[in-house]
Structure 1
Amino acid sequence: MDALVLSSECLLSKWGFWDGAEPDALLDLLDERGMDYPEDWTAVLRRLIREDLIPALDQRVEVVDIETCHNPIRARTVDGVDVVDQWTKVDTDVELTPETVAVPIARVLQVLEEERPSQRARLRT
């Protein structure tokens, strides 16, 4: 696994981004490297979306964090148009480009480490 591929259309779905769960390929990689699983995958995912996916999009996307067992970060607006009604549709009426953004695995692992509670506490002091 060289990169974690984030699909932009996942921003428009309640079930996007592996339905909020860690991707199996990432967990397999962590196992191979003898690394601990994320303590807070939601925080890692939200950062990757905000810092890596959204800046790469051709559209202006405003996201909202949602406390749920499903996708925890979704588009609220695209180019100023409310898209909340798209969240539960199977086929969305909104197109985001590019379709995917590949986040290098080194970047994913960096964010994973930075978001560990023990690391966050060190970074704040």
Structure 2
Amino acid sequence: MEQYLKYGQIVPQCGSLSDVQGQIVPQCGSLSDVQGQIVPQCGSLSDVQGQIVPQCGGLSDVQGQIVPQCGSLSDVQGQIVPQCGSLSDVQGQIVPQCGSLSDVQGQIVPQV
């Protein structure tokens, strides 16, 4: 899958990309401007404890963090991460492995 470098940001290309109010965001379905935040609209949005989060399946409050529940959650090296398929420790970073991973300009990004 292609990735784009726009305005110095490396972003996964989920379908296509949108430049919304100067932010480059993956366009997963559609976009919503919620309380001044531009967020990808994965299904629907939830305002949980003052945070606007994409609602991928459901939400979990894990150790005081509100996280989208994509499948299940893992506590890896003290980090709570959505478990999208599996997890990889790449150059000391724990990242969800959605498809494969790319090291782009020193950033490890999920290659969706």
TM-score, scaled to structure 2: 0.23
> Whose strand proportion is higher, 1 or 2?
2
Larger RCO: 1 or 2 (CA < 8 Å, sep 6+):
1
TM-score, scaled to structure 1: 0.22
